[in-house]
Amino acid sequence: MIVNIFKRAVSACVCAAFLTLTACKPDEDIVTVTPIPSNEETAALAGLARLEYAIVNDFDVRASELRTAIITLKAFSTQAALDTAKAAWRLARQPWEQNESFGFGPVGTLGIDGNVDDWPLNLVDVKGILASKVLLSVPYVEGLGTSSKGFHAMEFLLFGEKNDKTASTLTAREIEMVDALSANFKTQTEKLKAAWMPAGNSFGVQFTNAGKQSSVYKTRKDALLEVVGSMVDICDELPNSKIEIPLAMQSNQYAESQFSDNTLEDYKNNILGVQAAYTGRYAARSGMIADSGIGSIVAVRNAALHAKVLAQLDDAFYALEYVPEPFSRSIVTMQARLRRAQDKINQLRKTLNEEVKPLIGG
């Protein structure tokens, strides 16, 4: 997500997740939740809330793994420890980028989006902090502006400005800062998970109970349209900002995960998130979640439209898969493939906005 001027491991893993989502085999570990047959909207709300809780739970677990890896890096500044921390950072990106289709409610109202994923990074400020003698404590990091902490500050410290950081070039000051940043980061993932907890008066409960006993949503449609709106938003931001700006500027400086060159993986996970919200299927750490999603409503009301969306989801993902790594080189050498990916994602956006949204809201 982009909070400032741009708003708001790994290819194989993502591809495997996508293939699992689109063509599950009978012997897969599938957790099936039987929807309420009398009301597809009620079933979709419950399914989407369970789905989102699975995503934010995975995000919190990945943040714990990243925190542990950085604590180990602080104790043993070896190349193996640094490589483990880098891998943990990449893994934490997966559920977060898939969460773009739930970019409403607590992720914004609690400030989690900015604190976790503001970009581009204020590199001047981060370098200034490293050059200073200020005590790099967790309270100090908490007080930093959003463009100086979160995912991309940790990314810069772990990967280096040119994705060439090694244990021998990692300074004690950099380790101190990434340690404090990871602790603050973990508090954010915990808040997001708690907000979608299926108990008490959480936002997740308010969402599930939309239209009945909910102080947030007067109708079920209001809540469902929040999800569709977020799906549309990321299908707009992805081709027309995230891809377009670095492509037009011919500079990786404007790419989302420029220091690690994880950018294409971020983009694929954005589409996986849209797919998860639509199909109700998510490749969670605990096994495949198979639940009701937006598509369960569309399928009942307009089977042809449902088939169209599923085909466009496939097209959008595989158009991105057709762009070779790294993104920093493809913006120069594979512009036609990136333009094709933009076109496929925009087609999906148009369908979601002009056909799915009116159907859900009608």
Q: Collect all residues with Cβ–Cβ distance below 8 Å to 339 and sequence separation of at least 6.
A: 247
Tens digit of pLDDT per residue, the chain (362 long)? 443 433 333 344 444 444 344 433 333 344 444 333 348 999 999 999 999 999 999 999 999 999 999 999 999 999 999 999 999 999 999 999 999 999 999 999 999 999 999 999 999 999 999 999 999 999 999 999 999 999 999 999 999 999 999 999 999 999 999 999 999 999 999 999 999 999 999 999 999 999 998 999 999 999 999 999 999 999 999 999 999 999 999 999 999 999 999 999 999 999 999 999 999 999 999 899 999 999 999 999 999 999 999 999 999 999 999 999 999 999 999 999 999 999 999 999 999 999 999 999 98
- The number of beta carbons lying within 10 Å of the beta carbon of residue 286 is 12
H/E stretch holding 30: strand 30-32
Residue 351: its pLDDT value, please?
Answer: 98
- The number of beta carbons lying within 10 Å of the beta carbon of residue 72 is 17
Q: Which CATH number fits domain 11-195+213-361: 1.10.10.10, 1.20.1420.20, 3.40.50.1950, 2.60.40.1120?
A: 1.20.1420.20
- The number of beta carbons lying within 10 Å of the beta carbon of residue 11 is 14
Q: d(Cα 317, Cα 348) in Å, to the nearest integer?
A: 11
Sign (positive or negative) of CA dihedral 223, 227, 230, 232: negative
Task: Give me 10's structure tokens.
Answer: 């790994």
Cα–Cα distances (Å) from 130 to 3, 86, 212, 279, in that order, read 24, 20, 51, 45
Residue 186: its pLDDT value, please?
Answer: 98
- What is the three-class DSSP state of 161? coil
Q: Collect all residues with Cβ–Cβ distance below 8 Å to 315 and sequence separation of at least 6.
A: 344, 347, 348
Structure-token match 């599950």, residue found: 24
Q: d(Cα 196, Cα 192) in Å, to the nearest integer?
A: 7
Residue 286: its pLDDT value, please?
Answer: 87
* Strand ordering across the sheet containing 30-32: 30-32, 287-290, 281-284
Are 19 and 277 contacting, i.e. CB atoms less than 8 angstroms apart?
no
- The number of beta carbons lying within 10 Å of the beta carbon of residue 285 is 10
Q: How many residues does this entry show for the chain? A: 362
Strand-pair partners of 31: 289
Are 263 and 255 contacting, i.e. CB atoms less than 8 angstroms apart?
yes
Are 209 and 161 contacting, i.e. CB atoms less than 8 angstroms apart?
no
